[in-house]
Structure 1
């Protein structure tokens, strides 16, 4: 039996999920983060980063072509 992956509004995405979705490398993501261009991240107690699905969706929307 397989279960569907949750796509809820509050889903916490991993950096690897973001990189795969955008087709970028981890180093590119961390470069963007250092420059303040990446979506807002949540730092977990173990040091791992997560991004809320809602923050990621807003971040993508903000980058849309407004022409």
Structure 2
């Protein structure tokens, strides 16, 4: 594995970097109608029921 002088893998991401990438992907999929079904709370936050997420995830699986 290639590492920088500080011992960190240059291709790894920090938790905040990964969260930002996942968040933007999630909202892109949601805008295109490709994400799991969401519930909007009165404060504007989004939530996903576990059953809806698991069903969506199964639908995304490659059948091969």
Greater strand share, structure number:
1
**Which residue of the partner structure matches residue 47 of structure 1?**
44
Whichever of the two has the greater Rg, that structure is: 2
**Which residue of the partner structure matches residue 13 of structure 2?**
none
- Shift >2 Å, 4+ stretches: none
Any stretches of 5+ residues in structure 2 without a counterpart?
1-17
Q: What's the Cα RMSD here?
A: 1.7
**TM-score of the pair, normalised by structure 1:** 0.62
Any stretches of 5+ residues in structure 1 without a counterpart?
1-18
**TM-score of the pair, normalised by structure 2:** 0.65
Q: How many corresponding residue pairs? A: 46
Cα distance per residue 1:42-62 (max 9 Å; x no partner): 000110000000000000000
